[in-house]
A and B are shown apart, each in its own frame.
Chain A
């Protein structure tokens, strides 16, 4: 028994040294991928109304392809990303995925950005039996194709689970809010979450005296701000996209009103963190460049590269967050699926993903639940000294950080 244990230990120590040597060795000493490139086709909304976020995904994808190719590529072959611009239009995304599969003959596909283009691409993927990994579909129950996999841990029912994360955080405050105003964009994924928030809040005894929906791209928040001020609830929940949160908070300040505590769903992170109105606001996230996330494999290097590339691309907010991390995770899943199944055959990759756990920047990720989702991991971050800090749930909070009541 002791001999066997000793042999086991020796093998592992030796294996550990070899592994460390391989990791520490310069890239030139490792086997570089060679041969015909594996073509992975995909679209992003490089122009049009979703372009603000798609550019983040593009940078993240480029970093990941370099990263994958600096290791062993896919099955020892280099990876080539055939990227097309779907102009933020689902119909264009549909046509381009058709082209990528039938004309460009790509080996694999990568999902586009945002729910509507993803749904359009998913139909094409299903018709041709292609595995599709996507990072940004905010309404999981629309992902009905069994070979579509989410890279971002929304969980199968974020409209039920995430509101309760927020309500738990609210309950932890010294004076828990008893009433909530909900203001949301009619953008589908925001509206979906807002409806869930209303139901869950009322279930837990938090009154919702005002629920408002506005059109995506609303220009004037003056009247909405006047209604929010008049309702004067303990908590303001905003189903915002982009700069809508800044616009609403500014409109409120013009009325000399500051909400007691406010939550913002999908705002532009930089402008809200840096705004004078943004101090201590809450927001959804899955990851921030802080502990415990930075200790995840490869995260530090990816965060540094992202900052460098985003600065070079003239992005006003060059810090990695959940948007870019979603794309990073998508490529990590595809890499794990291909190299795990040891094939480019879509059905076998899908089967492998369903049976295995993939470690991504979001941590261990499973696909064995409803709509191929695993456990939800949507968190709350708060602006503290013009920086985003994860403040809830407690197990994801960095040492020395806490949820600051307003």
Chain B
């Protein structure tokens, strides 16, 4: 039975002083007042639902907007040259040459993934893939950035199992290779794991689609899955309110994903795009129909007339407010010219996708929504979609910051003999954060589509985008919450530097940046300070490297009770490589290659894996970041890849040279003989720093003897410090480090490989 008792625009005029649950819907008093001012009356209950969800932090970016502007302002014309679509759209689009464009974005699904890890993570993948599809692109790969609580906590296992199974279930069933990502454990994420999902898509320039309704008379069509009661108000309630163990149980259903429906929807949409029958398209995620109608109309500078009773439902008893707010997955809204309707119907019928025409675009600055013959929404679309509140929240330097920075790692006890150093190396290597992540990544299909040139455990994921020429793209993401806690501005630059370097070590040229900014409550001035510092650092860093931010996502309220997570801005860098056949592997493969360490090593152990694993310590200042040096290093690697001078390259980051060496050995089970004496002498450091320092702008490379002279000349020409620290030794199946001893690779592998299986089975 259809609901008949609805609040209409007429009633809103007549019963002007009716009490409305604006507070329960997450609105502030002044926000409710501005809605009344905009409309010149109280909103109807449907309008209230739309405004409340669209003005939530998650949809409106009201606390972050003033800082995000920097990403569009701190750019040079050169940086914008290849940017086809910048911030503000569903995802940014970058010209990668050969008439192809790439769109990529990373988004959070943190709160749903704590409540219901499996569906939360699954629908996170589904949502970001639809964002990419909406731009007109075929999605070609996914990645996930996961941060869980302390590994030994029982609840962590619940979340880890659910999240990985959810990503595996949804991503594998969509047929998208999972080519990388991050898995980090830290107790600060105990009650608030971070589940970020990245997707990347490829299109021809002419296939670019925008979420716009510009042509009056065009039809508004909802297609895909039917609308049900899933994720009701999930956006405003789930994503904007902190978990509070004593709080009210305002816990709506988490969205439920059906990857089969999404796979069919992807193929159906791509066929619609190629047939040229949709003029504009928007996916339905957070805020559902409220978002899609108002954004399409507002983006196109037009209006829309919609009959809400024509929405196909799974449950006929849904109220109009619920239909407007429903977050049922696997739905799309298309703007279709009337003359294309027949062609549209032929394609959706072929894919057995359900659709209904809801209304049409009108030449008026108004969004009218009817329920049968009753008008329930009558608003200027821009006020819902784009003119939400903007806050300049109070900012305060954290009270704990100076003490934290003063508590450096310099007083921590260092190993005194070779046996102790060897034990520390093995301990770090088998700690959950540095250990083998195959327990997670083996649950993901990395082969589907047949274009994967690099995937985990390599430093970055790489896929071919043109079979004719071998043109490919590389993506790496990074974040280091500990560095950001010590210094958010420096920390985010470190994440940028590492992602940039991870792209560079594959031989690709870094080209563009996306981000997912995970922070605590914006209502906490100390968190807001972290956010301000981090956004400034990222915008400045991108300007210095000359690569633009193409889009991103902000996730606030990541905290349990009063305790915020470490600020965790995830930075993703996209690179381009002319021919994936020239990519550089991350591990050693051949006998007798010279091993070089590029870059300088300082005694930088604050916030390091060594300080955490050996001493459970976090304090001091993060490593120094020098983006000019990162750029030099990237140019060197790119040049070396083109000339085919290096056999492998591996980024040095957490765990320092020691972990990089071990990983390079374990990748293809090739041993090495290492001597660090020259490095120690040149950089005036001790053995602990040589092994475990996390100094930046460093890469480990292996060079064949025949290319040795050329390679050294290249380093000299580029001004990149280069020191030989060893040679590969395939036959030995052992890692020998002079002054420490010899470790059999199978022993090194054992602790590294079993850490996660032992924790999670």
| A, B co-complexed | no
